Amino acid sequence: MDLAQWRNYIPRGAAIALKPNLGWDLFLPGATTSPWVLEGVVRTIRDWVETIHVVESDQVVVNVEKAFHLNRIDRVCRDYDLTWVNMTHTEMRTVPLPNGRVLKELQVPEILLRTQLVTVPVMKTHNKTVITGAIKNQWGCLPMFRHNYHLVLDAALADINTVARPCFAVMDATIGLEGNSPKSGIPKLVNRVLASGDAVALDAVAAKLMGFDPAQIAHLAECVAAGLGTATLQNITTRGDDDASLNLRFIPAHHNLVSWLELVLRQRPSLRRLFFDTPLFQLCCNATLAYYGIWYYLLGIGRGRKDRMLATAYGEQWR
């Protein structure tokens, strides 16, 4: 954070909304922001800012309160007297987007309009956006109906980041997630942290380190077109231990059964209305939960991947 000159981007005395990624309520290191990285950010900025809120929202198949406790973020909040805010249950405000890429207005939690947002994502692959990082992390700033934007996800992310624009980003790349992320992926030891006042640039560098071409990541191009940052590597200055030639060779994500089926249903208007605008939607959510439960517990795939990470040096951090 010091190398990235964080004090130039986080206003002194500001109220801060600290946004980790708590996008899964099954315990898998690399799927969510690690508590030690969130704690490191808090310890770095706490004497510079006024108040710190830790914020996240529920998903239709994720109980964020469970994820908050399961991933030890509750202990960070307790130890540093931080305020936890589940934005699903807070006041919402409608913000017009006259120059929106695909959205003309957006409902956002009111707390994001009176705080400075510091985003703390994880280095992960994603089956819809290639990577998920400092830009995609703001997806969790929207209400639970955000899944309705999946067919226009890349452009919608630019619109979301226009309203909920982070002043600074710190990426947890201690344990990343490759393969069929953002949930049922493979944890990968990376042992790094990235930071920047330009969230688009951070994601471009992260993509390059992961082995992907930033120019081929559509939501980064949408953000550049919206004036949110730069994704051209030649225009980005990097500092730290690694040079631009590093390639961590992340396994890319592919659509699993749940993701593939959702896109098929959304692409056909009649099926979209039937499955997403009727009580059948809850049945779809229940089927998704059953799929992940079988993957994690019955087949033991997720639990086995979790155990392998707990056997590393990071296991002691979790305990």
pLDDT digits (tens, 9 = 90+) for 35-47: 999 999 999 999 9
- pLDDT tier at 254, thresholds 50, 70, 90: confident
pLDDT at residue 161, rounded to an integer: 96
Mean predicted confidence (pLDDT) in 192-211: 97
| Residue bearing the bigger pLDDT, 265 or 29 | 29
pLDDT at residue 203, rounded to an integer: 98
Residue 97 contacts residue 165 (beta carbons within 8 Å):
no
Mean predicted confidence (pLDDT) in 231-236: 95
Which single residue is written with the structure tokens 């206003």? Answer: 11
Residue 173 pLDDT > 80: yes
Q: Cis link prior to 143 (omega < 30° from 0)?
A: no
- The amino acid that residue 50 corresponds to is E
- pLDDT tier at 194, thresholds 50, 70, 90: very high
pTM: 0.93
Which single residue is written with the structure tokens 């998903």? Answer: 59
Residue 72 pLDDT > 90: yes
Rounded CA separation 81/83 (Å): 7
pLDDT at residue 147, rounded to an integer: 56
pLDDT at residue 271, rounded to an integer: 67
pLDDT at residue 279, rounded to an integer: 79
Q: What percent of the chain has pLDDT over 70?
A: 92
pLDDT at residue 285, rounded to an integer: 84
> For residue 251, what are its two tokens?
């396994």
| List of domains in the chain | 6-254 (3.40.50)
pLDDT digits (tens, 9 = 90+) for 176-188: 999 998 999 999 9
Residue 281 pLDDT > 80: no
pLDDT at residue 313, rounded to an integer: 94
Mean predicted confidence (pLDDT) in 290-312: 96
pLDDT digits (tens, 9 = 90+) for 130-154: 999 999 999 988 765 555 666 788 9
Rounded CA separation 180/195 (Å): 25
- pLDDT tier at 198, thresholds 50, 70, 90: very high
DSSP string of the chain? -TTTTGGGTS-TT-EEEEEE----SS--TTSS--HHHHHHHHHHHTTTSSEEEEEE--BTTB-HHHHHHHTTHHHHHHHTTPEEEEGGGS-EEEEE-TT-SS-SEEEEEGGGGSSEEEEE-EEEEETTTEEESTTGGGGGGS-GGGGGGGGGHHHHHHHHHHHS--SEEEEEEEEEEESS-SSS-EEEEEEEEEEES-HHHHHHHHHHHHT--GGG-HHHHHHHHTTS----GGG----SS--TT----PPPP---HHHHHHHHHHTSHHHHHHHHSSTHHHHHHHHHHHHHHIIIIIS-HHHHHHHHHHTSTHHHHH-
pLDDT at residue 282, rounded to an integer: 81
Q: What percent of the chain has pLDDT over 90?
A: 77
pLDDT at residue 302, rounded to an integer: 97
pLDDT at residue 144, rounded to an integer: 54
Residue 233 contacts residue 244 (beta carbons within 8 Å):
yes
Mean predicted confidence (pLDDT) in 168-193: 96
pLDDT digits (tens, 9 = 90+) for 98-131: 999 988 999 999 999 999 999 999 999 998 899 9
Residue 216 pLDDT > 80: yes
pLDDT at residue 199, rounded to an integer: 98
